[in-house]
Copies of this chain bind each other. A is one copy, B any other.
Amino acid sequence: MKNEKSIEKLLKPHSIAIVGASDKTGKVGNMLVKNIANSSYLGEVFFVNNRSHEIEGREVYSSVSEIPKDSVDLVVIATPAFTVLDIVESASEKCSQFIIISAGFGESTEEGQIREKKLNELAEEKNLTILGPNCLGILSPEWGLNASFAPSLPPKGDTAFISQSGALAVALIDKAKVLNVGFSHVISIGNKMHISETNLIKYFANDKSTKTIILYLESIVGGIDFLGAVRDARLAGKRVIILKSGKSDEAQEAIALHTGSLTSGDVVTEAVFKKMGIIRAHTINDIFVLASLSHILPIGKKISNIAVITNAGGPGVITTDEISICRNLHQAMLSEENMKELSEKLPNAASVHNPIDLLGDAKLGRYMDAIKICIKDENIDAIMVLLTPQDGTPSGEVAKFIVEEQKNTDKLIITSFIGGESVKNSQKILREGNVFHVGTPTWVVDVLNELVANDSFEIPELNEVNQEDGINKKTEKILNISSNDNNRGLYFHEVKEIAREYNIPISKSWDVTGGLGVDTHVVYPCVVKVDNPNILHKSDREGVILPIKTPHELIKAITLLKNRFTESNTKIIAQPLAKIQIELIVGMKQDPVFGSIVIVGIGGIYTEIINKTEVFVTPISEEEIEKRMITGKLSFLFVGERGQRPYNISDVVDIVMALQNVSMKNKTIKEIDINPLLIYNNGTNPNAVDMKIVF
């Protein structure tokens, strides 16, 4: 099922049965019992256990079916793995929502994997909604419910945390108070057998109590559904923040073409995040700071010009340094009038330009003046107040003043009191007064920059891409023939046919395997190449000879290649020698999760090393490609940098769209490289000199 209603029932049940409830301290079943008792949950709770009769003074049922009610909203199971299947099956008569805490499923032995498979089948058959197995449970502060074995319910708030690691959820909950963060729900998804991040993101997109959705994921599943769920959440004005581990994933399949290596490891994840405006947390600390900042900063609030106020020169310089290299943040300039007022109030040696340096002997008064003036200055969107524990500066008083000011202004005040013991108390005053204070200043600047960039990100359409139906039969036929010959790739004349089907401007070529026939009108200068469906990297194997200027040279080159490549199925082709201005690579590969991925980058043999590549997760529209071409890593080609005439964007857009089209109509194709694709800024048409297709 996994629809909104069933997830709502799971997160906000009116009645719960705990299967495996126990009175033995240290057992998970006991923690569940205590945690539910200690939370302010108002619904009914039933304990189920086939060995006890009473726990905490309450009756214990030997099975869910014995509970004297027609239906229960949620069954939480914490019994050994081998018992779970039967329990679910029998309980499914009374309940459709389950949380399975028990481990011993897909994450463990082969036996566990079989168990998980059966459980999943049961869920489908009986139309159940199952969270887990192998999870911590859920904590729903807004529902007063702790149905987990995490020690305590965090404060209520507008952040949902979905975690593939129960332990990280525990750590974040524990840190919540210091971070001033509250939660709508904390959900441990465990093996995410049935309910995945996609289902939950979709749910929280419509959940009024949730403004920020934070996830820790070790894998992403769901492909386009995941994109769609994120899109819904983003369009509903919510931030999606993800910490994704597995950056260094070495369990990659063998890579055949450049496109494969340009999209290996973490690159597709990065592209997904970029496409959808997902904020990427890189460390646990990022999660902490992002949670705290997202809580305090309404989405869409204009944060661009930052004023820095400091009693410490060095940290002030370091902070403005960092601001000035952030694309979305700027050093605020005070209005002339306010600058004048400030300079009258501060000592001569102080600086009224950003950073506003109150000097090492700054007393409360200087902080008051500077903060008040910055609050009223319309050129300033946010104020960063730095403080180091100098002898003269009363940090506690400054903290109290800031707390009062923040209460009366919409302007974001970010504080960073840098030091140890001497500033501990003032940091506490700030936090308890709901003023943002986390870590050292540069760090906050980076995170703020990320948030601001993503808030204003335009969410792409996912449906309205011109998706042509049906397979391309001619292409399929070519692939079948080659496949029957046990080839991995295609001959160039086959590639040419496919390219023409999709309007890809493929280079001319002449088959010169048999030498120069009467019908072979080779144009000079030309290049001669080996052509064999199983030789994917011709240059690496010295299978390319150029330039060829005369028929005599051509004959020599053909003989040379024939001697070098003696496989019987080898052909030799000639192509016109093209003038090179810019070599691009445009490629496609099938990703197991996100379907076809299309790339555009600087081509040539060192394409991986230069690595100026844009990666697109389909579906993509022409607008999305164009936008990225103008703003991304290849923008220098299309905006006319260094006095160069700009290259024609639509040449590239058309070919990216064509590859997307191929990937939809001929799904057996695993990978395509067009490399080099020659493009020109003088009106010459683009030229796909080589194109490889792997299926």
B contact residues around A311 at 8 Å (CB): 167
Are A609 and B641 within 8 A (Cβ)?
Answer: yes
Could you say which residues of chain B place their CB within 8 Å of the CB of A104? Answer: 349
Chain A residues numbered 158-191 whose CB sits less than 8 Å from any CB in chain B: 163-168, 170-171, 174-179
Enumerate 10 A-B pairs (CB-CB under 8 Å) in ascending A order. Answer: A165-B315, A171-B388, A171-B418, A175-B418, A245-B318, A248-B325, A284-B442, A602-B610, A606-B642, A609-B612
Whether the pair B422, A248 counts as a contact (CB closer than 8 A) is no
Q: A349-B104, A420-B178 are in contact. Are A168 and B643 (CB under 8 A)?
A: no
B31 pairs with A391, CB closer than 8 A: yes
Contacts of A246 in B (CB 8 A): 317, 321
- Asked if residues A419 and B641 are in contact (CB atoms below 8 Å), the reply is no
Known A149-B391, A174-B421, A392-B26: A321·B245 in contact at CB below 8 Å: yes
B177 touches A421 (CB 8 A): yes
Partner of A284, one of B171, B318, B602: B318
Contact between chains at A321 and B285 (CB < 8 Å):
no
A324 at interface (Cβ–Cβ under 8 A)? Answer: yes
Residues of B within 8 Å of A641, CB to CB, are: 609
| A441 interface hit (Cβ, 8 Å) | yes
- Considering only CB atoms, which chain B residue lies closest to A546 in the complex? B579
Partner of A315, one of B28, B282, B284: B284
Most chain B Cβ neighbours within 10 Å, of A165, A361, A441: A165
Contacting pair B419 A312 (CB below 8 A): no
Cβ of A389 within 8 Å of any chain B Cβ, yes or no, is: yes
* Residue of B174, B325, B442 touching A423 (CB-CB under 8 A): B174
Residue in contact with A360 in the complex, picked from B167, B312, B390, B537, CB distance below 8 Å:
B167
A165-B317, A167-B388, A283-B440 are known contacts; what are 19 more A-B pairs with Cβ within 8 Å?
A: A26-B361, A108-B349, A149-B360, A151-B389, A163-B314, A165-B314, A166-B313, A168-B312, A168-B315, A168-B388, A171-B389, A174-B389, A175-B420, A176-B420, A243-B318, A246-B317, A284-B442, A285-B443, A540-B643
Complex Cα spacing A157 to B511, Å: 78
- Chain B residues near A67 (CB-CB < 8 A): none
Near B by CB (< 8 A), chain A positions 338-367 give 349, 360-361
- Docked complex Cα distance between A349 and B389 (Å): 49
- Which residue of chain B has its CB nearest to the CB of A605? B642
A251 vs chain B, min Cβ distance (A): 12
Residues of B near A418 (CB, < 8 A) are 171, 175, 284
A327 surroundings in chain B (CB, below 8 A): none
Q: Is A541 an interface residue when CB atoms closer than 8 A count as contact?
A: yes
Q: Mark A527-545, 1 if CB is under 8 A from B, else 0.
A: 0000000000101110000
- Determine whether the beta carbon of B440 is less than 8 Å from that of A314: no
Q: How far is the CA of A247 from the CA of B288 in the complex (A)?
A: 27
Within 8 A of B (CB), among A293-343: 310-315, 317-318, 321, 324-325
Residues on B with C-beta less than 8 A from A168 are 312, 314-315, 388
Contact A218 B609 (CB under 8 A): no
Q: Does A150 contact B (CB under 8 A)?
A: yes
Given known A-B contacts A321-B248, A389-B151, A315 and B171 have beta carbons under 8 A apart: yes
Cα A677 to Cα B282 with chains together (Å) = 40
Please determine whether A167 and B283 come into contact, CB atoms closer than 8 angstroms.
Answer: no
Among B136, B391, B541, the residue within 8 A (CB) of A151 is: B391
A168 CA to B314 CA in the complex, in Å? Answer: 6
Residues of B within 8 A of A165 (CB): 312-315, 317
Q: Does A103 contact B (CB under 8 A)?
A: yes
State whether the Cβ of A636 lies closer than 8 Å to any Cβ in chain B.
Answer: yes
Q: A318–B287 Cα gap in the complex (Å)?
A: 13
Top 3 closest A-B pairs, CB basis? A165-B314, A167-B312, A540-B643
